[in-house]
Amino acid sequence: MLDFDTCEKARQARDPAYDGRFFTAVRTTMIYCRPVCPVKQPLTKNVSYYPTAAACERAGYRPCLRCRPETAPFSPAWNGTRTTVERALKLIAEGALDNGSVDELAARLGVGARHLSRLFAVHVGASPLQTAQTLRIGRAKRLLDETALPVTEVALRCGFGSIRRFNAAFSRLYGRPPSAIRRPAR
């Protein structure tokens, strides 16, 4: 946390370089703001400074409706829909679509399946299922390159429901069957 004098100077100047680095809580109104808030400046004796919006709320302050401090830089809300897509990508990498559906993934994220698909189109350029398929095939290629596991075992470990689907997806992407990709033993 920055010292009081630094925060005070930044607040008085409404310095955007400090936006999101601290929050100003006003004791007389019980409201907290960002340092760039355009409202009339409170008296120095009435302010306290906190490192996060959560710390302000814990101390009993409510967010300003004008500067919306909960959307300050570095907060999840500031990242917007990208945060939802990043969470979805993490869950997909952990295998959320290997056993589940896009509807179940969307429910875990608190959005609808259609909205999730739209977000993926904007941020990733592919659907959640296409993204999961690409990750599965990438894992499969690594296993084929680095291990001597049978192709059937590789398909099952990578989240494919059947060897037939695995072979079809692999052939569609690489133009050859998975067995043709495997490096010969040294």
The domain spans of the chain are 4-76, 79-125, 130-178
Nearest residue to 169 (alpha-carbon basis) of 120, 118, 135 = 135
The answer to whether domain 4-76 and domain 130-178 are alike in fold is no
CB atoms within 10 A of CB 60: 10
Task: Report pLDDT digits (tens) over 53-65.
Answer: 888 988 999 999 8
Confidence of residue 134 (pLDDT cuts 50, 70, 90): confident
* pTM of the predicted structure, to 2 decimals: 0.58
**DSSP codes of every residue in the chain:** ---HHHHHHHHHHT-GGGBTTBEEEETTTTEEE-TT--SPPPPGGGEEEESSHHHHHHTT-EE-TTT-GGG-TTSHHHHTHHHHHHHHHHHHHTTHHHHS-HHHHHHHHTS-HHHHHHHHHHHTSS-HHHHHHHHHHHHHHHHHHH----HHHHHHHTT-S-HHHHHHHHHHHHSS-HHHHSPPP-
Q: Which fold has domain 4-76?
A: DNA Methylphosphotriester Repair Domain (3.40.10)
- Judged against a pLDDT cut of 70, whether residue 79 lies above it is answered with no
Rounded Cα distance between 48 and 25, Å, is 5
Q: Average pLDDT of 132-141?
A: 88
| pLDDT score of 48 | 95
The residues annotated with a catalytic role in the active site are 33, 37, 64, 67
Task: Tell me the residue type at 148.
Answer: A
Class of domain 130-178: mainly alpha
Q: How many residues does the chain have?
A: 186
Task: Report pLDDT digits (tens) over 88-133.
Answer: 999 999 989 988 899 999 999 989 999 999 999 888 888 999 899 8
